[in-house]
Amino acid sequence: MFVLSQKRLKPIPRILSIIIVALLYYGMAEISRHVAATPQDVTPVWPPDGFASAAILIFGFQLLPGVLIGSFLANIWAFFNADSWYMEIFSILQVLGIAIGTTIGTGLGNYLLRRSINGRNPFRRLDDLYKFLGFTGALAPMINATAGVLCLCLGGQIPWSIFGTVWITWWVSNVAGICIFTPAIISWYKFYVNSTKHKEKLLVNWKTEAKKIRFRRVIEAIILIVITLEISFLSFYQNYPLSYTLIPCLIFAVNRFGDFGATNLIVVITTISVLGTVKGLSSFAIQYPDSSLVLLQCFIVVVVLTTLSLIAILSEKKQAIANLQKSKVRLINKSVQLKDNQAILNENALILEQKNIALTESKKVAESASLVKSEFLSNMSHELRTPLNAILGLTQVLQTSKNLDHEEQSDLKTVIQSGAYLLELIDDILDISKIEAGKMELQFQNIDFLQFLTDLVNTFKVQINHKNIDFDYQFSPDLPQFVYIDSKRLRQVLFNLLSNAIKFTTKGSIILRVIASKSNKSQLELEKTLISISFEVEDSGIGIDVKRLESIFLPFERAEETKFKIQGTGLGLAISQKIVMMMGGEINVSSKYGVGSIFGFTVCLEIPKTNISDKHDIPNKLASNTNIYDKYLAQKLPLRILLAEDNPINQLVASKILNRLGYEIEIADNGVQVLEAMQNRNYDVILMDMQMPEMDGIEATKHIVGNTDLACRPYIIALTANVMDSDRQICMDAGMDDFISKPVNVDSLTKALWRSLRQGT
Ligand code: ADP
C-alpha cells in the first residue's frame, strides 16, 4: 500500500529527499518555536515529529537521516554554547543526542507499526488506528522525550529536579504533533496519488462531475470552513467556551469529506487553538499557564482521537459495504450462472425426453418387428412340421414292413435320419429366435433327478455304441433324488454338450460328471433348501483353438477347421449358454487343440420339500415295456381313441402309426365332429389338433371339460405342430391333459398313451 512504501529511491533523489525532509523538519520547528511557544518557551504541539513520522511511513526508513539532520538543526541553535571550545563540543554532542533520540524514536515507532499492520493504511481500521496511536503516537515520543530531557539534564540546561515535568511536556507536545500532523500529511499524499492515478478519468468526467457534485461540495466545504473558523475564533480568540461545538463540524467533515477533509480541519482547529492559547486569548487560557496548557492538550487529544476513530469506523463501514456489494455481485453472478445451468439442464432434459420418445418409438417398432418375426417363425415351423410329420411318420411306419430288402432298409434309415436332423434344425432356429425375441421362458417342475440322469445316460450309451469311444459317467453320491428345474431345457443343454462331444471325438473317451455341493445360499431364503450342482462333459476329441474359444458361444459360429467337415449349424452352444444363464449359471470351456475339451456349468437348484415328480413320466416298469412299435400295445393297453385332425396327410400318418400299435381309431375332422362323436361313444383318449376349421381343438376341449364329469372324461392329448411354450400353456389352460408335438414320434405317443392309463386309474 502506498502509505507504507518500501520502494528504494535512487541515490540522487534520495539525497535530495533527505535534504528536503531535514529542511522541512527544521523549518517547521522554527515556525513552531516562533509562533506557537508559550512565554515559558513551551510549544504545546510539536509538528516536526508528526511530519517526520509521515515521511517515514510514506517513503520508508531511507529518509531517517533527514530526520536526524532536521532534528539536529532544529536544536543546535537553541542549545549551542559558544562559551568555550569545550562547551561548543559538549553542546554539539548534547544536541546530537537529542537528534539521535528523535531519530531512534521515530524509526522504532514506525518499524513496530509497519510490522503490526502489515502494509495497510493505519487510519482505515480501528485496531490499526490503536496500533498507530500506541507505537507511533505514544511509544516513539517516549524515546524521543527521554533522550531529549536526559541530554538537557546532563548538559545542565535544566535541573534534574524538573526532569519529570519537562519530560511530560515534551512527550505530550510530540504526541499531539504526531497525532495531528501525520494523518493530515498522509491524507495529502493519498490525495496526490489518487488524483494522478485517476487523472484521465477525472478529466473525462470533469464536465458532468463538476456540475453535479463538485459544485455542491465546494459550497458545503466553504460553509464548513466558515463555521469552523468562526467557532474557533470565538473559542480561542474571544474566550467563549464554545470549543465543544467544533465536534459536530468534525463529524460533518468526516462524513462529507473523508479523512482528507477531517484531518486537515483538525490541523486548522488545533493551530488556531494553540495560537490563541499561547497568546492567552483562548477559553483554555486560565490563570495558571501550566493548567491552560493541560486544558488545551486535553482538548486536542479528545478532538484528534474522536475524529481519527470516526474516520476509521467510517472507512470500515465503507469497506464492509463494498465487500457486501462484491458478495452481492458474486451472488448475482452465481445465480445467473445457476439459471444458465438450469436452462442447460432443462434443455438437456428436453433433449433426453425427445430421445426417450424416439427410443420408445424405435423400441415399439423393434418389438412389433420382433413380434412379426416370431409370428412368422412360429407359422413357418408349423408349416414345416406338417410335411415332416408325413415324412417321419410314414417312414417310421414303413420301417416295420417286412417286405423291404437290406438296401431299401438302409435308404429308409437315411431318410429318417435326415428328417430327424431337419426337425432338429427347425427346433434350434425356433429356439434362437425365441431367445432373441426374449420369449424363452423356463418351465420349472419337480423332477426325479436321478431318473432324469439315468435316461440321459441310456440314450447316449445307444448313440455312442457305433463309435469306437468309451462313455463314462461319474455322479457324486450326494445328488438329490428330486430337484425343481426345467428338465426339458436342462436335457437340451446336456444333449447339446454330449452330442458335440460325440461329434468331435473319434478316439478315447467321453465323461459326464454331475457333482453336488451344498450351496452357501442354502437355508437362507424362506427355508428353501438349495443345492449347487456342477455338470461337466469331457472329451478327448479334436479340441478348440484358444483364439476361437470365446466365439463358439455366438449364434452360427463354428470353429473354423471343422466348418466344412462336420455337420452343425453353430446354434447349439448359443442356445445352451442362454438357457444356463437363465438358470443362473454360465457355461465355461477349457480346451486344448488336438487333445480335448471340457465344457461345464454350475447351477443352483431348489430341492423340493415333497418327493413327488410333477412330470407325468411313466414309471420305469412301464417305460421299459415301451419300445418302437410295440404291436401288442393295444392288447396291453386297450383304449378307445378318437383322432381330431383336419389335415388328411396327418390323419393318415397318425392312423397308420396307431394301427401298427394295434389300435383301431376313429377320426373327427374338427371340434364339432368331436362333440358329435362323443354323443355316440365314450372315448378313453382324444388326440386333439389345435388348429381346425369350424371349431378348433382349444374350444372343443373347453366344451368337453365344461360339460363332462371328470370321471368319464377322455384323456385329451394335444397333438400339434404349434410347439411354442405359449402354445403348450394355451392347451393346458384349456384343460388338456398332455401335449405331444408333430412330427409324431412313436415313442412319445406310446408314453403319452401309458400316461392316460395312470390318469384314469
Ligand atoms: P454345432 O456343433 O452345431 O456346430 P455348437 O454351437 O454346438 O454348434 O458348437 C459351435 C462350435 O464349437 C462347433 O462348430 C465346434 O467348432 C465347436 N465345438 C463345440 N463343442 C466342441 C467339442 N466338444 N470339441 C471340439 N469343438 C467343439
pLDDT at residue 83, as a whole number: 81
Q: What's the farthest any 2 CA atoms get from each other in the chain?
A: 171
All three cell numbers of 429:
432356429
Phi/psi at 649 (nearest 5 deg)?
Answer: -65, -45
Would you place residue 559 in the very low, low, confident or very high pLDDT band (cuts 50, 70, 90)?
low
566 CA to centre of ligand 1 in angstroms: 9
* DSSP classification of residue 138: I
Per-residue pLDDT, 20: 93
Higher pLDDT, 501 or 282: 501
Query: To 5 degrees, how large is the angle CA 737–CA 728–CA 700?
Result: 60
| pLDDT above 50: residue 703 | yes
pLDDT, position 693: 87
The answer for residues whose C-beta is within 8 angstroms of residue 390's C-beta and 6 or more apart is: 649, 650, 652, 653
pLDDT the model gives residue 324:
93
Q: Is the pLDDT of residue 564 over 60?
A: no
Cell of 296: 488545551
Q: What pairing do the DSSP bridges indicate for beta strands 641-644 and 665-668? A: parallel
Tally the C-alpha atoms within 13 A of residue 358's C-alpha that lie toward its C-beta: 6
Q: Would you say residue 612 has pLDDT above 70?
A: no
pLDDT at 620 > cutoff 50: no
Question: What is the CA(475)–ligand 1 centre distance, in A?
Answer: 25
Q: What is the pLDDT of residues 320-335, one digit of tens each?
A: 999 999 999 999 999 9
- The residue ranking higher by pLDDT, 303 or 535, is 535
pLDDT at 588: 93
Question: Which strands sit side by side in the sheet containing 715-720, from one edge to the other?
Answer: 665-668, 641-644, 685-688, 715-720, 738-741
Look at residue 613 and tell me whether its pLDDT is greater than 80. Answer: no
Q: Is the CB of 500 under 6 A from ligand 1?
A: yes
pTM assigned to the model:
0.48
State the pLDDT confidence band at 622, using cuts at 50, 70 and 90: very low
Amino acid at 741: S
Q: What pLDDT sits at residue 671?
A: 93
What average pLDDT does range 592-614 have in this prediction?
A: 85
Q: How far is the CA of 491 from the centre of ligand 1 (A)?
A: 17
pLDDT in the model for residue 435 = 81
Measured in Å, residue 549 CA sits from the centre of ligand 1 at: 10
How would you class 293 by CB atoms within 10 Å of its CB: exposed for 0-12, middle for 13-18, buried for 19 or more? buried
Q: How far, in Å, CA of 152 to CA of 144, rounded?
A: 12
Structural domains in the chain? 1-190 (1.10.1760), 335-436 (1.10.287.130), 445-607 (3.30.565.10), 625-760 (3.40.50.2300)
C-alpha to C-alpha distance for 523 and 603, rounded to whole angstroms: 16
Between 499 and 467, the more confident residue is 499
Q: Which pLDDT band holds residue 206 (cuts at 50, 70, 90)?
A: low
Beta bridge partners of 484: 446, 606
Q: What is the spatial distance between Cα 121 and Cα 2, in angstroms, rounded to a whole number? A: 8
**Site of grid cell 417342475:** 445
Phi, psi torsion values for 530, nearest 5 degrees: -110, 150
Q: Is 187 exposed, middle or buried (0-12, 13-18, 19+ CB in 10 A)?
A: buried
What is the grid cell recorded at 750?
Answer: 406310446
Note the pLDDT of residue 425: 81
The pLDDT score that the predictor gives to residue 621 is 32
Identify the CA nearest to 480 among candidates 344, 613, 666. 613
- Nearest Cα residue to atom 16 of ligand 1: 559
398 to 115, 384, 394, 657: CA distances (angstroms): 118, 21, 6, 10
Write down the mean pLDDT value for the chain.
Answer: 85
Q: What is the C-alpha R_g of the chain? A: 59
Pocket test for ligand 1, best of 552, 556, 590 (most atoms within 8 A of CB): 552
Burial class (CB in 10 A: 0-12, 13-18, 19+), 84: exposed
The whole-number pLDDT of residue 618 equals 39
pLDDT digits (tens, 9 = 90+) for 38-84: 766 778 889 999 999 999 988 888 899 999 999 999 888 877 877 88
Residue 562 has pLDDT above 80, yes or no: no
Nearest-angstrom CA–CA distance, 711 and 652 = 31
Write out the three cell numbers for 566: 462336420
Helix, strand, or coil (residue 692): coil
- Whether the CB of 559 sits within 6 Å of ligand 1: yes
Calculate how far, in angstroms, residue 559's C-alpha sits from the geometric centre of ligand 1: 7
Greatest mean pLDDT among 253-267, 393-407, 667-681: 667-681
Instruction: Select from 553, 558, 564, 597 the residue to mutate for testing ligand 1; criterion: most ligand atoms less than 8 Å from CB.
Output: 558
β-strand 509-518 against 529-539: which pairing, if any?
antiparallel
The pLDDT, as a whole number, for residue 619 is: 36
pLDDT of residue 496: 93
DSSP letter, residue 563:
T
Q: What is the whole-number distance in angstroms between the Cα of residue 433 and the centre of ligand 1?
A: 20
Is the shortest distance between the CB of 562 and ligand 1 below 6 Å? yes
The pair phi, psi for residue 741, each rounded to 5°, is -100, 155
Q: Which residue has the cell 371340434?
A: 671
C-beta of 569 in contact with ligand 1 (< 6 A): yes
**Contact status, residue 530 vs residue 519, Cβ threshold 8 Å:** yes
Cα–Cα distance between 627 and 750 in angstroms, integer?
A: 8
Encode burial over 616-652: b for 16+ CB neighbours within 10 A, e otherwise. ebbeeebbeebeebbeebbeebebebbbbbbbeebbb
Convert the pLDDT of each residue in 676-686 to its tens digit. 999 998 899 99
Judge if the beta carbon of residue 249 lies within 6 A of ligand 1: no
Are 519 and 533 in contact by the 8 Å Cβ rule? The answer is no
pLDDT surpassing 70 at residue 203: no
- The stretch 189-218 carries a mean pLDDT of 68
Q: pLDDT at residue 298 above 60?
A: yes
Q: Pick the more confident residue, 703 or 525.
A: 703
Selected residue with higher pLDDT from 160 and 428: 160
Provide the pLDDT confidence category of residue 643 given band limits of 50, 70 and 90: very high
- Ligand 1: residue of 500, 539, 553, 593 to mutate (most ligand atoms within 8 A of CB) is 500
The Cα 100–Cα 176 span in angstroms is: 20
Rounded to whole angstroms, the Cα distance separating 567 from 563 reads: 8
The sign of the CA dihedral 414, 420, 423, 427 is negative
**Which one, of 541, 538, 535, lies nearest residue 503 by Cα?**
541
What residues contact residue 697 under an 8 Å CB cut-off, 6+ apart? 644, 671, 688, 689, 690, 691, 718, 720, 731, 734, 736
**3-state SS, residue 416:** helix
pLDDT digits (tens, 9 = 90+) for 163-182: 988 898 889 889 999 999 99
Mean pLDDT of 148-162: 87
Nearest CA to ligand 1 atom 7: 572
pLDDT at res. 617? 44
Average pLDDT over residues 594-601: 94
pLDDT, average across residues 268-285: 84
For the segment 705-761, what is each residue's pLDDT rounded down to a tens digit?
Answer: 998 887 788 999 999 888 777 888 899 999 999 999 888 888 889 999 999 886 554
The values of phi and psi at residue 739, to 5°, are -150, 120
User: What percent of the chain stands above pLDDT 70?
Assistant: 90
Q: Taking residues 641-650, what's their average pLDDT?
A: 91
At residue 199 the predicted structure's pLDDT band, cuts being 50, 70 and 90, is low
pLDDT of residue 204: 56
Helix, strand or coil, per DSSP, at residue 717: strand
